[in-house]
Every structure is written in structure tokens, then in C-alpha cells.
Amino acid sequence: MVRRFLLPASLALLQVSATAAPAVFAPGELVRVSRGEMLQFEGKNFVGAAKGQEFPVIHEDLARGLVFVPFYKKDGAPVAVTIPADAVEEAPHDGWLDLLGSIEAFRDQRYDIMRPLLSRAAQDEKYKALVLALAPRLQGAIASRNAAALGVLRETAAQLEKLGYLSLALAVDQGTDRLGGTTAPATKLDRAALEPKVATSTRAVARTRQAIAMRCLMNATEEIDLGLQAEPNRPDLKAFQTKVQKDVEEAGQKYEDAERMRRFPKGTPHALTALEMGLKLCADYPKLLSLKKDMGEAFESQTAPPVDAAFMAVVKGGDAKELAEGHSLYTNRCTECHDLDLLDSRSMSSWERMVGNMSGRARIDSAQQARIVAYIAAAQKVVESKPQE
């Protein structure tokens, strides 16, 4: 069975007309990026998508081998971007997402989707009792559509709100509207207050995923806080919060390590290693960014030394113009997808693989790849020649 999650109305508006052939990934299905890739918007590079990042599918274009997925801009507006179909795979199942997806399917009267998702959600012990309570109420209302069954759903929505499951409460209540029409009893929820809260928490989940994928954990923390203020008991946000807090704390420890090591004789390389490790955990950690600026010259000398007379004196060969072009491509085009790494952190074979893997995303041809690799090989010699400070 294909895993599907119903898209919010704002994202459904982005859906592209389907092709005649059946899609491998269905609309609403949650997919995970299987390799680092560049998202495209209107045929142009938009933003990098990290391995492991997850998106709900809007539509798959089989003819072009592309999957359309939503991306939230800084102003909160969603846009439809594309990623190659061979760069995504079905995401692992999650009890909360199965439960939420099933209730959203009920809301949208897609009962064929609701039933299997409810069954799968019941396999998660955390949600089994809740599913067993919800399932007969939903099924009974769908079968009878009488006032009593619809009234039970109104009460169920109110109970879910009291438990803190605002997203579930709103979806059940909206589904009751559509199921009963004019015969449905009056809602017991303050919908005017509830709807913006659920919209905020839903947007926060998507933007937190994006921030985590880009390792911007301070931004992720802000999104999580906003989402939990709106919906304090939302499980996916609470799970994100636990992981993000752990990684932010570890990034803070790397900052302390870097600060301590740079004050020791010959401690600069160790400080730079700690700095790099910290930024890989949290790319927007303020103290790490400040330290990187303070150590700018040392950081540049270990990640992307400029091609100048001193550089060429160490290399003792090669075309300075081509090496400079390789440096420019590496520091400008490669950084569209990756942060600069310490040059001695990889072997040359590993660097060659990395450059090859990102060439498609950065639209770098084979000649440009060769210049980047030649620059990195020469730069490694320069780094090795420098005495430790």
C-alpha cells in the first residue's frame, strides 16, 4: 500500500495536472531525499535538499522524471519545487503521521485512505488506545450518517482538543461538517481560534524539517517554539524539540572546545576541527559563527587558500589561471550545496566523489570538475606545507 498524507489546502492549490501513466509516488505520500540534491524552482536552482529531508508529494511528472514537493519560503508562503524522482524514496512509517494522515483523510472524505492508515497507526503502542477509541466512532458515523453518530464526533473533537491534539480535533470537526452537511449538530469547538493555531503548528512542522535539513538548528528552535505555542502537545514537534536541543547542546560544547584549543600553542588545527564539527551540527550557532569570523584567515587557509604567489610557490607547477578558476568554482558553486570542509578531512578519492556527486546539482561540466579537483589536490599540498600554529 502506498503511504499517503493529505496536503493542507494551501499546498493542494499547487498541485500539477497528473499524467496518464500511474505515478510511482502518489499525491500526499511522504518521501525522503536519498541523496543530496538541488531543488529547482521554475527550472532554476532554488535551494539544496539534504539527504534525509522529507517532503509530502504534490505530484510526480513521470515524463520528466521529476517529483513536485512543497517548500515554505521565509514569509511562510509555499511554492512547488522539483527534485529528481530517483533522488527520493518512501519515508519510514511513523505512528503519529499515520494517525494524523488518517484523520485528515476522514476530513477530506477519502475513506479508502483513512482505514488502512488507522490500522497501521494502531500498531504503534503510543497511539493504539487512541486509535481504538476513534476508529469505531468514525466508521459508525460514515456508515449511518445519523444525528447521534455525528453528535458523537462533535464530542470526540472536543475531547481531542482537551487532550491537546488540536490538529486531530480540527480535522475530525471539519470532517463531521462534510459528512453531515446541514444535518450535522453544531460544533463544540471555537473554530475561529483553533484554525489559526493548527495552521501555525502545521507550517512549523514543515519549516522545522527544512531548517533541520539545512542544519540551521537555531532557526529550527524558533519554529518549534512557535509551533508548540500554538499546539503544545503536537508529537512531531516535541520529537523535533528533543533532537534539536541535544544537537544544539553538542554544538555549544564544540564551541567551548574550539575556544579552548585555539589558545594553546599549535592548537589552531584542533580548534578549526572543533569549529567545523560544531558548524556541521548547527550551521547558525551564533558563537560558532562569531568564532569562524575571528579565525577567518586561519579557516580560509585550511579550507580554500587563495591561488596567489605563495600558493604557486608551494605547488611548483600547474596553470595558475586554471587553479584560480578551480578555486572560484569550489568556493562559489560547490557551496550552493555544501559548506567548505577542512581540506585534510578527506582523501583525494573522497573529494573526487564529492565533486562528482554535486556536479549535477551545481551544473558543473566535466572540464570544470577537473579544475576543481586539480585545485583541491594543489590546496592539500599547501595545507600540508604549513607549520602548525
- Tens digits of residue pLDDT in 207-261: 998 899 889 999 999 999 999 999 999 999 999 999 999 999 999 999 999 999 8
pLDDT surpasses 50 at 30: yes
Q: How many CB atoms lie within 10 A of CB 313?
A: 10
| Better-predicted residue by pLDDT, 1 or 25 | 25
Answer whether residue 6 shows pLDDT above 60. Answer: no
pLDDT for res 267 = 77
Measure the CA–CA gap between 87 and 275, rounded to whole angstroms: 30
Which strands make up the sheet holding 78-84, listed edge to edge?
Answer: 44-49, 37-41, 78-84, 66-72, 59-61
Please write down the long-range contacts of 116-123, taking CB distance under 8 Å and 24 or more positions apart: 116/1, 117/4, 120/93, 120/95, 121/95, 121/96, 123/95
Most confident of 53-62, 150-159, 331-340: 150-159
Q: What is the pLDDT of residue 381?
A: 82
In this prediction, residue 2 carries a pLDDT of 44
Given this model, what pLDDT does residue 348 score?
81
Report DSSP letters for 220-260, one per residue. Answer: HHHHHHHHHHH-TT-HHHHHHHHHHHHHHHHHHHHHHHHHH
Inter-CA distances, 159 with 12, 162, 180, 286, 324, Å: 29, 5, 19, 42, 66
pLDDT (average), residues 18-28: 56
Rounded to an integer, what distance in angstroms lies between the CA atom of residue 39 and that of residue 45? 6
- Position with higher pLDDT, 59 vs 217: 217
Residue 109 has pLDDT above 90, yes or no: yes
| 72, 169, 256, 275 from 17: Cα distances, Å | 21, 31, 53, 47
With a cut of 90, say whether residue 73 has pLDDT above it.
Answer: no
pLDDT at residue 310 in the model: 82
Q: Can you tell me the mean pLDDT for 104-122?
A: 92
Q: 0.95 exceeded by the pTM? A: no
Residue 382 clears pLDDT 80, i.e. is over it: no
How high is the pLDDT of residue 299?
A: 73
175 pLDDT higher than 80 = yes
Look at residue 295 in the predicted model and tell me its pLDDT. 79
Domains of the chain (ranges; CATH) run: 9-90 (2.30.30.40), 95-189 (no CATH), 215-294 (no CATH), 305-385 (no CATH)
**What pLDDT shows up at residue 12?**
46
Which 8-state DSSP code applies to residue 330?
I
Find which of 164-178, 202-216, 330-344 is predicted with most confidence, using mean pLDDT.
164-178
Residue 334 has what pLDDT?
65
- Short-list 51, 80, 71, 60, CA closest to 17: 60
What is the band of 20 on the pLDDT scale with cuts at 50, 70, 90? very low
Give the model's pLDDT for residue 388.
58
Q: What is the pLDDT of residue 346?
A: 74
Predicted confidence band of residue 15 (pLDDT cuts 50, 70, 90)? very low
Query: pLDDT at residue 328 above 70?
Result: yes
pLDDT of residue 359: 65
Q: How many CB atoms lie within 10 A of CB 63?
A: 9
- φ/ψ region of 81 (left if φ > 0, alpha if ψ in -120 to 50, else beta) reads beta
pLDDT at 168 over 90: yes
Whether 387 has a pLDDT exceeding 80, the answer reads no
Predicted pLDDT at 285? 96
pLDDT at position 251, please? 96
